[in-house]
Structure 1
Amino acid sequence: MNRLQFYIAFTHMRSKLKQTIVATAGVAFGIAVFIFMVSFIVGVGEYTWAVSMSQTPDVRLYNEVSANEVSILQQQYPADVNIVHHVKPKEEMLNLKDGRQAVKQLSQDPRVQAVAASLSTQVFYHLGAVNINGRILGIDVEAEDRLFNLSDKIITGSLEQLSTRPNSLVMGAGLARKLNVSTGDHLTVTTNRGGSFLVTVTGIFKTGLTAIDDEQSYASLNTVQRLLGVPASYITDIKVRLHDNEQAPELAAAWARRFDYSASDWQQDNATLLASERLRSLIVYGVAVTILMVAGFGIFNILTMMIYEKMKDIAILKAMGFSDRDVRWIFLAQALTIGVAGALAGLCFGFLMAWGISKVPYKSDIMISLDHLPVSFDIIYYVTAFCFGLITTTLAGFLPSRKAAKLDPINIIRG
């Protein structure tokens, strides 16, 4: 496209200045809304994902309770036809065999960032007439803190006292609210084996995940082992944080075979969250495409009307020696100019809208680490919006430009 073609295109747009501004504003509005929506929705998604992943290991090793594949009756009478309904799970220990040795070996793996052993058990919390079912997680305090940054989630009290104070626990904020306890209070814990113990609340934590905050407490590994009356080697879970969590599925399968444990990775444990993330992205892009298509139809209509109004000008241009290609480029230049101007304006307005909402204060009793609305400023969405806006306007201008190029100047001049 040469300067003359661009000058003619610019003259046409200037003669229909209001329609040009409306078309440009339509593109700008579509892109601004896209940037605003994506920035906010992706920001919320990233924050929710970060909160969920902060309490999810990349790989978890455990013993899975399973039903007997072959019943005792089948073992006793293998030649007979035996029908057994509702086979109960095997009476097997959840303890990881040689778990301490496995933790030591995993901690020496260069692919592993942090590893922690834990012991989980169901309990009843008793305080006066209140009885609540919950869970206690026995942990190696330092290792668990490296894995999940637990010390940052403590809102009152201290995590370190778990290591120094016997029969102490750090309780989830929701559970503490139900029991109406605070730091320094005492309550009774009853294990699933019937033993009752008096424990002291040395801290209260909040992760932002209701499933954890409303029913879980942390205690030292030694404390929970004493509560259950099991040896010091008894652990039920090994949790691993990797330097590259994309290796989690492969390493989980390899470690399950190596140590003869069951294993899960963060993708399996967060399958629902991953599916919702994909669905959210489809919805966001679907809405944005619809908005930009509406803007594209506006450009199409404006250029089509301009062709009918400029038919004599087109005939004169062709009579002066302009080729079909030259005429096509004149109208494509108008579409591209509207697209570029609208896209740049939309990016600026979209950024300002996203920046403005990121400064809105937001306080939540659940999400303690959130003080403003979460917004993502990832440049990839700005590039995507600009390219898509340009493509939409180019396609919207292609059909009118082709129609203009096919006009016969002789028929137009004859009227």
Structure 2
Amino acid sequence: MRVQLTIAFAHLRHRRRSTLVSLMGIMLGVAFFLAVSALMRGSEEDFLKRLVDNSPHITVSDQFRAARRQPAELRWPGAAVAISNIKPPVETRGIRSYRSKLAAIEQWPGLRVAPVLRGSAVLSFAGQQQGVSLSGIVPARMQAVSTIDEQMVMGTLDDLAANPNGLVIGQGLADKFQLGLGSTVNMVTASGGTRTMKVVGIFRSGNAAYDEGETFTLLKRAQVILARPDRVNRFIIQLANPHAARGVAADIEQQLGYKAVSWSEASEDILSLLQVRNVIMYSVVTAILVVASFGIYNTISTIVIDKRRDIAILKAIGFEASDIRRIFLYQGTIIGLLGSAAGLLLGYAMMRILAQVELKPPGVTDVVHLPVWWGAEQYLLAVAFALAACLGAAYLPANKAGKLQPVDTLRGAT
């Protein structure tokens, strides 16, 4: 092996210019692989973090995944006569005995849960009206399962507990109605409930529709206004491990009977889009390394042609075809390793520069930095792709060199 490595280094040193060009091709390929993958993976991680952090990991609602079977169907299954157009009795919607179900969910390890009663209402102020979603919450529990408290620009969720008629609204709604802390608005619900509410907090999430259409009040007050006494219609659950949400949601649904939807189930279309984007991204950056590998192929092929007599002599003194192939495969490996090392340094520097870039999109007040992902696996992946490309490019000329016949070459045959 030492002799083969020595010969491989000697061949590469003999053709310094073409070797340097091949090294630069691999270096740039690895560097751009790192820069592009860091930006793509960084944007994906940032998007998923916003998606996961700003929405419940699991939402249990007062619905059923499949409609309940009617009592007559259960009593006489497969009967010859079917009863159609049965109207179920009118009942107050909500999760029945929610306190016991809430206690059952709390027994699961690694999760936090908050009860919510959600409904629709109309806010009116100074002749203006706005349809909003009203969420009745328990402030202490809501702070543990959402980021709304971090988004407060005025007041806190705890201020709801001090004011039974308190209301927390978004910045968009506050600007639209010209409201501030202490302002009062009239609220009317579909059930006929009417109440004068006092603004005790204002939040800003950055989502215009959410900031204009979402409001929060105490759970007990929402139960009165929405005419659903002692009811909630959803549980909001956050997990220590968000990626386990689908399995946990299935177990909770089986235990409670009510529909439990994980964030991944609710965002299947988005996750599918991200997978397609990753395939496109890795295809593009791999193509860069494939193009760079043609330089290696050209370099090693030229060496094989120039060193035909040397190869014949090596075979004549006892070198096997596999030994000859190994010499040129070592050359591809050397170029791949040296080019990858230089590419990792250049790619790291490019990532550092990209991380310092500041952007301010139109209509956004906050400065945004490019999201860069620093995971170690992308460095390993870049080196693996580079070595695979180099060895693939070196194999064809190496195989050709191994098949050379020493007698024909030494006699001057072409």
| TM-score higher than 0.5 | yes
Which of these residues, 385, 396, 405, is aligned with residue 399 of structure 1? 396
Query: How far 1:390 moved relative to its partner?
Result: 1.0
1 CA distance for matches of 2:136 and 2:366? 25
Taking the TM superposition and a 5 Å limit, the aligned residue runs for 1:72-221 are 91-107=90-106, 109-221=107-219
State the Cα RMSD in Å.
Answer: 2.9
- Asked if the contact 1:329/1:401 (under 8 Å) is kept, the reply is yes
2 CA distance for matches of 1:343 and 1:96? 59
Which runs of no fewer than 5 residues in structure 2 stay unpaired? none
Deviations along 1:142-172, one digit per CA (max 9) or x if unpaired, are 1010111322111233222111123222222
Match of 1:381 in 2: 378
Query: How far 1:393 moved relative to its partner?
Result: 0.6
Question: Cα gap change, 1:47/1:182 in structure 2, threshold over 3 Å: closer, same or farther?
Answer: farther
Deviations along 1:40-75, one digit per CA (max 9) or x if unpaired, are 111111111111111332332221278786699xx9
Match of 1:5 in 2: 4
Query: How far 1:382 moved relative to its partner?
Result: 0.7
Query: How far 1:235 moved relative to its partner?
Result: 0.8
Question: Which shows bigger deviation, 334-343 or 89-98?
Answer: 89-98
Helix, strand or coil: the match of 1:60? strand
- State the percentage of identical aligned residues: 29
Paired letter, 2:399:
R
Kindly indicate whether residue 382 of structure 2 is the aligned counterpart of residue 412 of structure 1. Answer: no
Match of 1:43 in 2: 42
2 CA distance for matches of 1:79 and 1:304? 82
Query: How far 1:36 moved relative to its partner?
Result: 0.8
Which of these residues, 261, 266, 274, is aligned with residue 263 of structure 2? 266
Kindly indicate whether residue 314 of structure 2 is the aligned counterpart of residue 340 of structure 1. Answer: no
Query: How far 1:385 moved relative to its partner?
Result: 1.1
Query: How far 1:254 moved relative to its partner?
Result: 3.3
Question: Which shows bigger deviation, 249-258 or 62-71?
Answer: 62-71
Query: How far 1:80 moved relative to its partner?
Result: 6.5
2 CA distance for matches of 1:174 and 1:42? 32
Helix, strand or coil: the match of 1:124? strand
Q: TM-score, normalised to structure 2's length? A: 0.88
Match of 1:355 in 2: 352
1 CA distance for matches of 2:361 and 2:367? 7
Q: TM-score, normalised to structure 1's length? A: 0.88
Helix, strand or coil: the match of 1:158? coil
2 CA distance for matches of 1:308 and 1:359? 48
- Asked if the contact 1:52/1:209 (under 8 Å) is kept, the reply is no
Deviations along 1:224-267, one digit per CA (max 9) or x if unpaired, are 22322332x12111122233445433433333343332222222
- Asked if the contact 1:324/1:406 (under 8 Å) is kept, the reply is yes
Helix, strand or coil: the match of 1:187? strand
2 CA distance for matches of 1:83 and 1:302? 80
Paired letter, 1:380:
E
Which runs of no fewer than 5 residues in structure 1 stay unpaired? none
Deviations along 1:3-31, one digit per CA (max 9) or x if unpaired, are x3222222221222121111111111111
Question: Cα gap change, 1:104/1:212 in structure 2, threshold over 3 Å: closer, same or farther?
Answer: same
Question: Which shows bigger deviation, 215-224 or 136-145?
Answer: 215-224
2 CA distance for matches of 1:130 and 1:392? 66
Question: Cα gap change, 1:318/1:372 in structure 2, threshold over 3 Å: closer, same or farther?
Answer: same
Match of 1:223 in 2: 221
Deviations along 1:168-188, one digit per CA (max 9) or x if unpaired, are 222223333444434333333
Match of 2:22 in 1: 23
Kindly indicate whether residue 50 of structure 2 is the aligned counterpart of residue 34 of structure 1. Answer: no
